[in-house]
Amino acid sequence: MIEYRNLRIALLGAGSVGAQVASLLLEHGEELANRSGAGLELVGVAVRDLDAPRSADIPRDLLTTDAESLILGADIVIELMGGLEPARTYILQALNSGADVITGNKALLATHGPELFDAAEQVGAQLYYEAAVAGAIPIIRPLRDSLAGDRIKRILGIVNGTTNFILDRMDTAGESLEAALATATELGYAEKSDPSADIEGFDAAQKTAILASLAFHTTVPLDSVYREGITSVTIEQVDAARKAGYVVKLLAICERMTDAVTGEEGVSARVYPALVPRSHPLAAVHGAKNAVFVEAEAAGDLMFYGAGAGGKETASAVLGDVVSAARRHVIGGPGVAESTHANLPILPISSVTTRYQITLRVIDEPGVLAAVATLFSGHGVSVETVEQSVAAPGRGDAAATATLVIGTHEASESDLSATVAALETSQVVSSVTSVLRVEGS
Ligand code: NDP
Ligand code: HSE
């Protein structure tokens, strides 16, 4: 057996992910040492409650409630507690003591990323976070390393498994949003007490901030990510989308684009439910799976697909970071700082251009179509397709009504919003029943 230098590993947290990391580190220690060129000694596991049940066996003498003492003297600290505090303080303590840090904490990175990356750079340590976006899927390292020589144009991601599960159930099983959410909760995808992090798009927005920062070498603060969740998506919209050859997906979109208003180049980071053509690879992402579709200038289109959550699955990404950190310790030298050299402006949602599909109920009378078309052209929005279906008047109805489904060419959000406002007050429109953006075509 080869004699390696020993690296001391401190693990903070032994929940869904942490317990699996501890178990795999203990079980595969020798193999991981051979891959890293260093012995990986798990010196302790910090938890809140020493007696809490664990999803994997962890020797009792490794458990401690004293995280601060555990961090002192560690070469590598793995933070899997979640939340902002005390995770932030512990990570800063670890970096300042010269340890490399591995985390899966997207909330923390999206909120305090620049502070943590600066702290790492100051002391020449490295902060690894492959598990923070899309669980087991390798996407951080491909963006940071493999694609570092290319220019990313756009990323479209399904990065929240819970909402993808819900929208998929609505599409494939015809369930309402409420029924699909209940199934997701029963299966343990959505939090029972508060599913809002998933269904309101907060989790996806955190991941979007991380991906956009990395892809465009720009600091993208969490509060600059435009966010809409899935709570207003109706089964009628999902059914209509299917009939029109689309599927509704909650997308994390990171895009390098030209400001529709000022002409300035910048970055757009946004999360919303959108219509995706059924022919697009993201349309085939079912259940709670995640996928990240990257459009790069030279590489073309790439798709990364797999499990976006799960204890063991996410532990795989964490252990990949452990091996990278251990190899860096063996080789020596300072860690590589995060690159934010481009520092592009972050564009507001009003400056984004995309295509839209708008569904209206109108009175079926001569001149109505022309009046609706005039409202679109009057606000600079070009109509690409129009489909009309007519319902015969019911008893008591004054006239037959028609449903118009209007697809637009690319238009700016501000022009589209002005058009929708005008439609809502128009004499010829009974109601605007749906406005959805179209992405991925
Ligand atoms: P859990 O809630 O299952 O586990 C959290 C662990 O941290 C528990 O063991 C808890 O101790 C411990 N802990 C919490 N606060 C403290 C504290 N103040 N001091 C010491 N220990 C503490 O979280 P997960 O394993 O699900 O997630 C961990 C991280 O990984 C999060 O940042 C999450 O966003 C991220 N992640 C999770 C994924 C998943 O599928 N679960 C996927 C991708 C990323 P105790 O057990 O005693 O209560
Ligand atoms: N709640 C997240 C999801 C888990 O549904 O994808 C991992 O971030």
Q: Which atom of ligand 1 is nearest to the CA of 132?
A: 44
Q: How many CB atoms lie within 10 A of CB 101?
A: 29
**How many A from CA of 17 to the centre of ligand 1?**
7
Structural domain harbouring 154? 140-307
- Identify which of 79, 81, 210, 290 to mutate to test ligand 1's pocket (most ligand atoms within 8 A of the CB): 81
Mark which of 307, 323, 340 sits at the end of a domain.
Answer: 307
The angle subtended at Cα 431 by Cα 427 and Cα 432, nearest 5°, is 115
From the CA of 250, which ligand is nearest?
A: 2
Residue whose structure tokens are 């390292």: 141
CATH no. for residue 109?
3.40.50.720
15: Cβ below 6 Å to ligand 1? yes
Query: Which residue from 102, 105, 314 has its CB within 8 A of the most atoms of ligand 1, so it is best to mutate?
Result: 314
Task: Indicate if the pLDDT at residue 336 is higher than 60.
Answer: yes
Q: Do residue 97 and residue 190 come from a single domain?
A: no
Verify that 236 and 108 share a domain, yes or no. no
pLDDT band at residue 101, thresholds of 50, 70 and 90?
Answer: very high
Q: Is residue 289 part of a domain?
A: yes
Which ligand has its closest atom nearest to the C-alpha of 198?
A: 2
Site to substitute for ligand 2 among 80, 163, 181, 198, most atoms within 8 A of C-beta: 198
Exposed, middle or buried, 216 (CB in 10 Å: 0-12/13-18/19+)?
A: buried
Is the beta carbon of 52 within 6 A of some atom in ligand 1?
yes
The CB of 42 under 6 Å from ligand 1? The reply is: no
254-266: pLDDT as tens digits: 999 998 788 999 9
Whether 291 and 168 map to the same domain: the answer is yes
> Does 343 fall in a domain?
no
Amino acid of residue 331: I
Same domain, 213 and 271: yes
Rounded mean pLDDT, 16-33: 97
Residues 166, 76, single domain; the answer is no
Annotated catalytic residue: which of 106, 153, 192, 207?
A: 207
Q: Give the pairing of strands 226-227 and 265-277.
A: parallel
Reply yes or no on whether the pLDDT at 396 is more than 60: no
User: CB–CB of 152/122 below 8 Å?
Assistant: no
Residue 342 lies in a domain: no
Rounded Cα–Cα distance for residues 430 and 337 (Å): 56
Asked if 253 and 280 sit in the same domain, the reply is yes
- Residues paired with residue 353 on neighbouring β-strands, in sequence order: 412
One domain for residues 207 and 229: yes
**18 close to ligand 1 (CB < 6 Angstrom):** yes
119 occurs within a structural domain: yes
Domain-located, residue 344: no
Active-site annotation holds for 207: yes
Instruction: Identify whether residues 234 and 321 lie together within a single domain.
Output: no
Determine the average pLDDT of the residues in 11-37: 97
Q: What is the pLDDT of residues 366-387, one digit of tens each?
A: 999 999 999 999 999 999 999 9
With a 6 Å cutoff on the Cβ, whether 200 touches ligand 2 is no
Residue range 25-44: mean pLDDT, rounded: 96
CATH code at position 191? 3.30.360.10
CB–CB of 440/241 below 8 Å? no
Residue 244 resides in a domain: yes
Q: Is 308 in the pocket of ligand 1 (CB under 6 A)?
A: no
Q: Which atom in ligand 1 lies closest to the alpha carbon of residue 17?
A: 25
| More confident position, 263 or 321 | 321
Q: Which ligand has its closest atom nearest to the C-alpha of 18? A: 1
Which 3 state secondary structure label does DSSP give 287? coil
SS3 category, 174: coil
Q: How high is the pLDDT of residue 386?
A: 94
Using one digit for the tens of pLDDT, what is the confidence trace for 56-78?
999 999 999 999 999 999 999 99
Is 0.75 topped by the overall pTM? yes
CB of 147 closer than 6 angstroms to any ligand 2 atom: no
Residues 262 and 215 placed together within one structural domain of the fold = yes
Q: Does position 394 have pLDDT exceeding 60, yes or no?
A: no
CA separation for the pair 374, 357 (Å, rounded): 17
Residue 153 and residue 267 in one domain: yes
293 in the same domain as 425:
no
| Mean per-residue pLDDT over the chain, rounded | 95
How far is the centre of ligand 1, averaged over its atoms, from the C-alpha of 223 (Å)? 24
pLDDT tens readout for residues 136-150: 999 999 999 999 999
- Euclidean distance between the first and the last CA atom of the chain, given in angstroms as a whole number: 55
Q: Is 104 in the pocket of ligand 1 (CB under 6 A)?
A: yes
The total number of structural domains in the chain stands at 3
Using alpha carbons, select from 156, 177, 157, 155 the residue that is nearest to residue 165.
Answer: 177
168 and 128 in a single domain? The answer is no
Residue 398 confidence class, pLDDT cut points 50, 70, 90:
low
Please report, for the domain that includes residue 387, its CATH number.
Answer: 3.30.70.260
What 8-state DSSP symbol labels residue 346? B
Whether 347 is covered by a domain: the verdict is no
- 193 pLDDT above the threshold of 90: no
The answer to whether residue 336 is domain-embedded is no
Given a cut of 60, whether residue 397 has pLDDT beyond it is no
Q: What is the pLDDT of residue 84?
A: 97
| Residues paired with 411 in a beta bridge | 354
Q: Is the pLDDT of residue 392 over 80?
A: no
